[in-house]
Amino acid sequence: MDNEWKIRLLGGVLHGREVCLAGGSLSVGERGCDLCIPLHGGDRLEFTATPAGLMINTEGAPVRINGRRHQAGKPLPGEGVVQALGLTMAFGQHHADLARYPLRRTRSALLCGMVLACLILTGTSALILMNNGNLPPPQPVTSRVTELLRQTGLTQITVTREKNGTLRLSGYCEKSERLQSVRLTLGEWGVMYRDHVVCTDQLIRQVRDVLTRAGYDEAEITSSAPGEISINAGIMMGKRWADIQQQLMVIPGLKHLHIENRHETQISALIDSLLQQGLAEKVSVTSVGQAFVISGILNRDERQSLNAILMQLRQQFPGIVLSYQNVASSGEGSQRLPSPVVAVIRGQQGLYLLLKDGERLRTGSRLPQGGEVAALTDEAVTLRFPDGLINYSFGF
């Protein structure tokens, strides 16, 4: 995961577009390249992800990294801005927030700006001398930016001035589009700043990218407060999820993660209702995607009880998908037991199963595979698992 990199284009018609290094490399140029962009002074440049870091090849053209000349053949730092062949691009690993790198002005643009500033200053001085008047002191840039944020409705973003004179934007916003207009205005003003603002839509997108790579394509991701993300998916706690959670918690700006397995909550409520009505001894429950299928042979009264349960669950969980099949349950339960059933014995402590290996199972007994005995009769045993309910008839 540490060898996954991405590039963000700064300036031009593709400003703000981010591209991942598919297959570990990315070529930019006019002919036969991954990105078709005209370059100045060279045919192409290429990024390559290696164990040593991200490499750049410009076929001898000069490269500047974070404003300093880069030595060819050496890996790039973990994150920064590269300038080569007329292009300016931010780079970083897959979890980096490259949106905080603004488009820096080129040297020619700065020279033109200085000349224009001198002309304006000269003209202003002449007017002052001619009119013998006084101009009000200019508003501090920090106050101007703060007022701009207030007018845009971005009140959760704060502006501070760093020791080197640049501004630091930090805090949260809901939509990155609204922040983009502020970035454009700051660029027009010539304000140098570092962008550490976390936008909720970008935060959700980053979390979704991690979950998609982990196989949770259908996860529902929402946010109710700045920096807080709620995930609703069929997530089972364990080593796999612990690894995914480590990737999530390094995402910049993510303060709190709330996990909800609505599917697990729904199936637990369904099984509890079947147990309370005495139907768990007669049916099995299977998860099919996000739906639940109940199967078993029921008489008329039992069908009415089941219909009442389904109606109650549909009111409790709007959108839940439930169906019933009037077919006998499968014999899958025999495969979930530690060994074959030898007998059903009614002892002084109640009914229990005697297995071939000598183990005895009663209602509430835990199984090696993580399930438990939910119900037991002379004719069948009901096994409860996190993903369903299995009814196994003995047939003897």
Per-domain residue ranges of the chain = 5-97, 201-262, 269-393
The pLDDT, as a whole number, for residue 114 is: 53
| pLDDT exceeds 50 at position 93 | yes
Instruction: For residue 256, list its beta bridge partners.
Output: 228
The pLDDT, as a whole number, for residue 40 is: 67
List the CATH code of the domain at 201-262.
3.30.1340.30
Mean pLDDT of the chain: 82
| pLDDT exceeds 80 at position 154 | yes
Instruction: For residue 293, list its beta bridge partners.
Output: 286, 323
* Strand arrangement, sheet containing 284-288: 321-325, 291-295, 284-288, 388-393, 380-385, 372-376
The pLDDT, as a whole number, for residue 190 is: 82
Closest by Cα among 383, 352, 355, 346 to 367: 383
The pLDDT, as a whole number, for residue 122 is: 52
| pLDDT exceeds 70 at position 203 | yes
Quickly name the fold that domain 269-393 has: Alpha-Beta Plaits (3.30.70)
Q: What mean pLDDT do residues 335-352 have?
A: 80
Instruction: Compare 348 and 151 and report the one with higher pLDDT.
Output: 151
Q: What mean pLDDT do residues 12-19 have?
A: 76
| Percent of the chain topping pLDDT 90 | 17
- Here the tokens at position 83 are 């300038």
The distance between the two most distant Cα atoms of the chain, rounded to a whole number of Å, is 114
The pLDDT, as a whole number, for residue 42 is: 58
Residue 395: pLDDT band (50, 70, 90) is: low
Which residue in this structure is represented by tokens 């390559």? Answer: 48
Contacts of 136 (CB under 8 A, 6+ apart): none
Instruction: Compare 358 and 210 and report the one with higher pLDDT.
Output: 210
229 alpha-carbon distance from chain centroid: 9
Tell me the C-alpha distance between 4 and 247, whole Å. Answer: 13
The pLDDT, as a whole number, for residue 2 is: 61
| pLDDT exceeds 80 at position 170 | yes
Q: Evaluate if pTM is beyond 0.95.
A: no
Choose the CATH number for 5-97 among 1.10.3720.10, 2.30.110.10, 1.10.10.10, 2.60.200.20.
2.60.200.20
- Here the tokens at position 355 are 């297995």
The pLDDT, as a whole number, for residue 116 is: 46
Q: What mean pLDDT do residues 257-266 have?
A: 85
Q: What mean pLDDT do residues 175-202 have?
A: 86
The pLDDT, as a whole number, for residue 120 is: 46
Radius of gyration over every alpha carbon of the chain, rounded to an integer in angstroms = 32
Q: What mean pLDDT do residues 111-134 have?
A: 48
Q: What mean pLDDT do residues 209-234 have?
A: 89
Contacts of 69 (CB under 8 A, 6+ apart): 62, 63
Per residue in 276-318, pLDDT (tens digit) is 998 988 899 988 877 899 998 999 999 999 999 999 999 998 8
| pLDDT exceeds 50 at position 97 | yes
Torsions phi, psi of 145, nearest 5? -70, -40
| 3 state SS for the chain | CCCCEEEEEECCCCCCCEEECHHHEEEEECCCCCEECCCCCCCEEEEEEECCEEEEECCCCCEEECCEECCCCCCCCCEEEEEECCEEEEEEECCCCHHHCCCCCCHHHHHHHHHHHHHHHHHHHHHHHHHCCCCCCCCCHHHHHHHHHHHHCCCCEEEEECCCCCEEEEEEECCHHHHHHHHHHHHHHCCCEEEEEEEHHHHHHHHHHHHHHCCCCCCEEEEEECCEEEEECCCCCCHHHHHHHHHHHCCCCCCEEEEECHHHHHHHHHHHHHHHCCCCCCCEEEEECCEEEEECCCCHHHHHHHHHHHHHHHHHCCCCEEEEECCCCCCCHHHHCCCCEEEEEEECCEEEEEECCCCEECCCCECCCCCEEEEECCCEEEEEECCEEEEEECCC
The pLDDT, as a whole number, for residue 59 is: 83
| pLDDT exceeds 70 at position 126 | no
Instruction: For residue 88, list its beta bridge partners.
Output: 10, 83
Residue 138: pLDDT band (50, 70, 90) is: low
Q: What mean pLDDT do residues 130-155 have?
A: 73
Q: What mean pLDDT do residues 62-86 have?
A: 88
| pLDDT exceeds 80 at position 14 | no
Residue 324: pLDDT band (50, 70, 90) is: very high
The pLDDT, as a whole number, for residue 108 is: 47
| pLDDT exceeds 60 at position 47 | yes
Q: What mean pLDDT do residues 259-265 have?
A: 84
The pLDDT, as a whole number, for residue 228 is: 92
Mean pLDDT highest for which of 74-83, 258-267, 306-315, 380-389? 306-315
